[in-house]
Chains A and B, each alone.
Chain A
């Protein structure tokens, strides 16, 4: 492991090396509208597809009357379940074979309200939209299950791999002097990225190019390749910028297949932009969850037993598990534990990933329950957390790599002024406003997959970094430039980063908060190799001005090569390259282990999640941690809850760029505030329709809902977690926000709200 400490350019906040607070280098492009998002790509001869979604929850498409649509101006093609090409089933993200039988992008069987059933392609978007409105679909309806509350929902399917247990939780609970047992619920929630989903598909022979916002161009390209039975290399997916994904843009979806099928049938490039209302069923957000938690403890607050039983909804088509025991099993030291989970298939689109899938609702349960226990025994909610602090991973029974949660509690409490809290509910007020303070912890695992990167030093002294990894706002462009700048000794403004194109060196999914760690690792490795090659040339090239000095090392900083003791005048990299007549130095490196560098393992590493290491592999348990301290003001007459103050202390290990990490933390906290107080997919039980499928009715937090958010980094470099010492950043901050708010609401009002969101009608 080599750490290079080059001269810093400014030595201040604008420092472009790793750890510097560099602003996002893609910022100006985005602010000025020059950044071209995937489906803004201009292309000759483009035609437009619009889908028609089902209006029933369950049944079959009996017939499609498309006469009027076909006769409508500009219409080129109407795709129905009867005439759409059947594709091959594609390997799942887990690397397992896809479901049996063909993949139907417009299935005849309707399994949820809002399923794509017909698509209309026309010369213009307006023509396609108008024609789509003329489509008449008749259905044969069957009985549906609308949600977890549906009496027909049943018990669901037990998911045995989710079962965790140690000790004898039942007996310990039964014998515990203090017991609490409650049920906690979270509703269906949506990613609602500001850039809705969409795609442009173009065929040239049997080569397919796709412009599509993607968190994983290699993984999604593989699905298209397998669907159409063409070689992976024939698919090129381009996704230069992504207007938010939060987990919803990692997998290929039916609308993408529809566009690609239409493009092939018509021999024309096809654009399909999913409308905002359609996005509510074009992808699956977070499934609704329900969990019961039983906590047994001593009178002094020491946990004796935790028993959890969770359920989440899934679709009738696919199995989505939202692991509700993920935080429960590692947050507290408890001698007896049992957790199991069922999944209930019902008539919804298959749920997907939404910021911290699993950890997020899991924390809502355990972090609410521990708070209830604290009040039950009359203990400070912060103290009970420290009393039950887990010194090692209580589930895996191995040491943490780093766990700065105690520091997070301490720093957060100090900045918040927690010690001034009056313990009793309803004990703080300001006029009509009841004031409450709450705390909750959160955690997110460190996930690890090898990556690959190319670094190129050019004759003009600039450098390029290339990777198929993506930037959806987290700052990949910026931190990879910083990594290369630091290692190469080239100022960051002379480094170009190319991302989001499956023609570039490969990257695994930008999900699970793994990308920053794995890609800085890969770029670091490739850049070190490039730097070594450059120094090697400077020492040994026949035309090098340093050749005669017989040195064994040189330094590179600020784009300049220097001798250790000033034996010779400095020379810029550009001059040097010209001197030796070299056009470029190019190094391609991956971080795959030797035994996995073969073609098959390589392919699977980047196009499935098979190679992703569990956070406990390697002898240490690797996780990020955080503590949220919240003040709420609850209007005692109106029941409205406003977050008036918030301090969060977070341990994400080493931060490659504190400004960007803080901004991700704040973004996650903001999303958490929305989740706690506002967000809920409202389902009409009669037809399982999401009826608030627009941003006027599906409420996310606005600026007015967000106070100043103080975030404090308490992380230390963790080299077990990643090469450069970082841990998970992006998904961590949302975990624990909702319970911290619910706990504060209890402190303010004496009302415990156990089902999100905490709307005014629940408080009144």
Chain B
């Protein structure tokens, strides 16, 4: 771990200016940053602590949207009654993430920017080749152990999975990331690796996430987050799904459905083909099962992660049927 200096930002502008300098990094809850610093992956010259900025930790929910400040703690959002009511999938995705200690420290802004758990990314001394760390150096995961790697959205340059939970729910409900004035749809905020896996977000050096807003919807109100993993708690998803459902007045026909996947893709993965196959249809188990398979069109596995191709559609199916009252 390299020596670094510490700067406490007193205003958002000061934070932006400091963060804009090459080598400096924003510090929020520190649960990702310090971890990566200890691995020798993050090597900041200065950490710019933004946790003392005023007014960035609010959680407001009205009929049109939820607005969550970037410094709100994961636990605060998970436990917020209005979030639980209007966006159950969001609250659940947070409650099922990490551990109680981490949720108490970690912020919503930091959560979106957590890095992949690809073991090769985290072990630079032994695996120098990693296009995400050093563009052009190669990918150590290819030919390595890939049980936790992505099957969707991969490229020849990188197959690292996006590990987070919250962003999956946010992608399902068309949330917006606020970078001060600038706003980016969360689905666009996360980028596919392509040839530039080092560039994970539509986000420029010196920008600060200030808030996340989530439009209210009937689907968001009737939503759930299902997370599947070997360990009952404190493990990243083998596969997860955020699903929101709005039914027609008949109580069986799908008016609106939102589906996003976690644990299987290089970014939080909106399952639009599955949504399209279900909208306007009468919800029924066999149909849902078949439709869910569509999400894996174009999936590429690397052997050890093949199970994700089977697992993820089942997670979608379970979540949709649960919301439809059929499971």
User: Which A residues are closer than 8 A to B by beta carbons?
Assistant: 55, 113, 126, 129-130, 133, 431-432, 635, 637-640, 642, 677-678, 682-684, 686-687, 689, 691-692, 696-697, 699, 701-705, 757, 759-761, 764
Complex formed: what's the CA distance from A635 to B230 in Å?
A: 11
- Asked if B238 and A696 sit within 8 Å, CB to CB, the answer is no
Q: A640-B230, A687-B126, A691-B119 are in contact. Are A126 and B315 (CB under 8 A)?
A: no
Complex A-B, nearest 5 residue pairs according to Cβ-Cβ distance, in ascending order: A704-B233, A761-B307, A704-B232, A691-B119, A637-B314
Question: Nearest-CB distance from A135 to chain B (Å)?
Answer: 10
Q: Which residues of B contact A705 (CB under 8 A)?
A: 231-233
In the complex, residue of chain A having the shortest beta-carbon distance to the beta carbon of B236: A696
Complex formed: what's the CA distance from A638 to B310 in Å?
A: 9
Q: Which residues of A contact B317 (CB under 8 A)?
A: 637
Binds A, one of B14-22, B83-91, B141-149, B168-176: B141-149
Q: Which residues of B contact A759 (CB under 8 A)?
A: 230
Q: Which residues of B contact A699 (CB under 8 A)?
A: 230-231, 235
Interface residue? B115 (CB, 8 A): no
- Asked if A638 and B232 sit within 8 Å, CB to CB, the answer is no
Question: Nearest-CB distance from B111 to chain A (Å)?
Answer: 16
B314 CB contact (under 8 Å) in A113, A638, A692: A638
- Asked if B232 and A702 sit within 8 Å, CB to CB, the answer is yes
Question: Nearest-CB distance from B232 to chain A (Å)?
Answer: 4
Q: Which residues of B contact A113 (CB under 8 A)?
A: 126
Interface residue? B2 (CB, 8 A): yes
In the complex, residue of chain B having the shortest beta-carbon distance to the beta carbon of A683: B145
Complex formed: what's the CA distance from A760 to B238 in Å?
A: 9
- Asked if A682 and B232 sit within 8 Å, CB to CB, the answer is no
- A selection of 30 A-B contacts at a CB cut-off of 8 Å is A130-B3, A432-B327, A635-B228, A637-B318, A638-B311, A638-B314, A638-B318, A642-B232, A678-B230, A682-B119, A682-B145, A684-B145, A689-B126, A691-B120, A691-B123, A692-B119, A702-B231, A702-B233, A703-B233, A704-B231, A704-B233, A705-B232, A757-B230, A760-B228, A760-B229, A760-B238, A760-B307, A760-B311, A761-B238, A764-B310
Interface residues of B in 205-258 (CB under 8 A from A): 228-235, 238
- Asked if A129 and B1 sit within 8 Å, CB to CB, the answer is yes
- Asked if B310 and A126 sit within 8 Å, CB to CB, the answer is no
- Asked if A639 and B311 sit within 8 Å, CB to CB, the answer is yes
Mask: chain B, 290-327; 1 = CB below 8 Å from A; 0 = not? 00000000000000000100110011011000000001
Interface residue? B40 (CB, 8 A): yes
- Asked if A432 and B318 sit within 8 Å, CB to CB, the answer is yes
Question: Nearest-CB distance from B305 to chain A (Å)?
Answer: 9
Interface residues of B in 144-161 (CB under 8 A from A): 144-145, 147
Q: Which residues of A contact B307 (CB under 8 A)?
A: 639, 760-761, 764
Q: A638-B315, A699-B230, A702-B233 are in contact. Are A761 and B1 (CB under 8 A)?
A: no
In the complex, residue of chain A having the shortest beta-carbon distance to the beta carbon of B313: A637
Complex formed: what's the CA distance from A692 to B144 in Å?
A: 13
- Asked if B143 and A686 sit within 8 Å, CB to CB, the answer is yes
Q: Which residues of B contact A760 (CB under 8 A)?
A: 228-230, 238, 307, 311
Complex formed: what's the CA distance from A702 to B234 in Å?
A: 8
Known interface pairs A639-B307, A677-B231, A692-B119; 18 further A-B residue pairs with C-beta atoms within 8 A, sorted by A's residue number: A126-B3, A130-B2, A133-B1, A431-B327, A637-B318, A638-B315, A640-B228, A677-B230, A686-B143, A691-B123, A699-B231, A703-B233, A704-B233, A704-B234, A705-B231, A705-B233, A760-B228, A761-B307
Q: Which residues of A contact B315 (CB under 8 A)?
A: 638
Interface residue? B117 (CB, 8 A): yes
In the complex, residue of chain A having the shortest beta-carbon distance to the beta carbon of B1: A129
Complex formed: what's the CA distance from A638 to B230 in Å?
A: 10
In the complex, residue of chain A having the shortest beta-carbon distance to the beta carbon of B35: A696
Complex formed: what's the CA distance from A760 to B315 in Å?
A: 13
Is the contact region of chain A dominated by helix, strand, or loop, or is it mixed? Answer: loop
Question: Nearest-CB distance from B151 to chain A (Å)?
Answer: 13
Question: Nearest-CB distance from A716 to chain B (Å)?
Answer: 37
Question: Nearest-CB distance from B318 to chain A (Å)?
Answer: 6
Q: Which residues of B contact A686 (CB under 8 A)?
A: 143-144
Q: Which residues of A contact B311 (CB under 8 A)?
A: 638-639, 760-761, 764
A640 CB contact (under 8 Å) in B120, B126, B229, B233: B229
- Asked if A133 and B231 sit within 8 Å, CB to CB, the answer is no
Q: Which residues of A contact B318 (CB under 8 A)?
A: 432, 637-638
In the complex, residue of chain B having the shortest beta-carbon distance to the beta carbon of A56: B126
Complex formed: what's the CA distance from A557 to B235 in Å?
A: 54
Q: Which residues of B contact A431 (CB under 8 A)?
A: 327
- Asked if B145 and A691 sit within 8 Å, CB to CB, the answer is yes
Complex formed: what's the CA distance from A702 to B317 in Å?
A: 28
Q: Which residues of B contact A678 (CB under 8 A)?
A: 230-231
Interface residues of B in 1-49 (CB under 8 A from A): 1-3, 40
- Asked if A684 and B147 sit within 8 Å, CB to CB, the answer is no
Q: A129-B1, A637-B318, A691-B119 are in contact. Are A761 and B147 (CB under 8 A)?
A: yes
- Asked if B117 and A697 sit within 8 Å, CB to CB, the answer is yes
Q: Which residues of B contact A684 (CB under 8 A)?
A: 144-145
Complex formed: what's the CA distance from A133 to B41 in Å?
A: 12
- Asked if A130 and B231 sit within 8 Å, CB to CB, the answer is no
Q: Which residue, A638, A701, A764, has most C-beta atoms of chain B within 10 A?
A: A638
Q: Which residues of B contact A640 (CB under 8 A)?
A: 228-230
Question: Nearest-CB distance from B75 to chain A (Å)?
Answer: 17
In the complex, residue of chain B having the shortest beta-carbon distance to the beta carbon of A759: B230
Complex formed: what's the CA distance from A724 to B17 in Å?
A: 73
- Asked if A133 and B123 sit within 8 Å, CB to CB, the answer is no
Q: Which residues of B contact A703 (CB under 8 A)?
A: 233
Question: Nearest-CB distance from B31 to chain A (Å)?
Answer: 11
In the complex, residue of chain A having the shortest beta-carbon distance to the beta carbon of B38: A275
Q: Which residue, A637, A682, A687, has most C-beta atoms of chain B within 10 A?
A: A637
In the complex, residue of chain B having the shortest beta-carbon distance to the beta carbon of A276: B38
Q: Which residues of A contact B143 (CB under 8 A)?
A: 686
Complex formed: what's the CA distance from A639 to B117 in Å?
A: 22
Complex formed: what's the CA distance from A551 to B113 in Å?
A: 83
- Asked if B144 and A55 sit within 8 Å, CB to CB, the answer is no
Q: Which residues of A contact B117 (CB under 8 A)?
A: 696-697
Complex formed: what's the CA distance from A193 to B73 in Å?
A: 30
Q: Which residues of B contact A691 (CB under 8 A)?
A: 119-120, 123, 144-145
In the complex, residue of chain B having the shortest beta-carbon distance to the beta carbon of A127: B3
Q: Which residues of B contact A677 (CB under 8 A)?
A: 230-231
Q: Which residues of A contact B235 (CB under 8 A)?
A: 699
- Asked if A133 and B232 sit within 8 Å, CB to CB, the answer is no
Q: Which residues of B contact A133 (CB under 8 A)?
A: 1-2, 40
Q: Which residues of A contact B125 (CB under 8 A)?
A: 55
In the complex, residue of chain B having the shortest beta-carbon distance to the beta carbon of A687: B126
Complex formed: what's the CA distance from A701 to B232 in Å?
A: 9
Complex formed: what's the CA distance from A130 to B38 in Å?
A: 10
Complex formed: what's the CA distance from A696 to B144 in Å?
A: 19
In the complex, residue of chain A having the shortest beta-carbon distance to the beta carbon of B123: A691
Question: Nearest-CB distance from A424 to chain B (Å)?
Answer: 25
Question: Nearest-CB distance from A682 to chain B (Å)?
Answer: 6
Question: Nearest-CB distance from B136 to chain A (Å)?
Answer: 20
Complex formed: what's the CA distance from A759 to B147 in Å?
A: 11
Complex formed: what's the CA distance from A692 to B318 in Å?
A: 30
Q: Which residues of A contact B40 (CB under 8 A)?
A: 133
Complex formed: what's the CA distance from A704 to B310 in Å?
A: 26
Complex formed: what's the CA distance from A761 to B229 in Å?
A: 10
Question: Nearest-CB distance from B290 to chain A (Å)?
Answer: 15
Question: Nearest-CB distance from A275 to chain B (Å)?
Answer: 8
Complex formed: what's the CA distance from A387 to B144 in Å?
A: 48
Q: Which residues of A contact B232 (CB under 8 A)?
A: 642, 702, 704-705
Question: Nearest-CB distance from A69 to chain B (Å)?
Answer: 13
Complex formed: what's the CA distance from A757 to B235 in Å?
A: 16
Q: Which residues of B contact A692 (CB under 8 A)?
A: 119
Question: Nearest-CB distance from B217 to chain A (Å)?
Answer: 27
Q: A130-B2, A699-B230, A764-B307 are in contact. Are A55 and B126 (CB under 8 A)?
A: yes
In the complex, residue of chain B having the shortest beta-carbon distance to the beta carbon of A763: B307
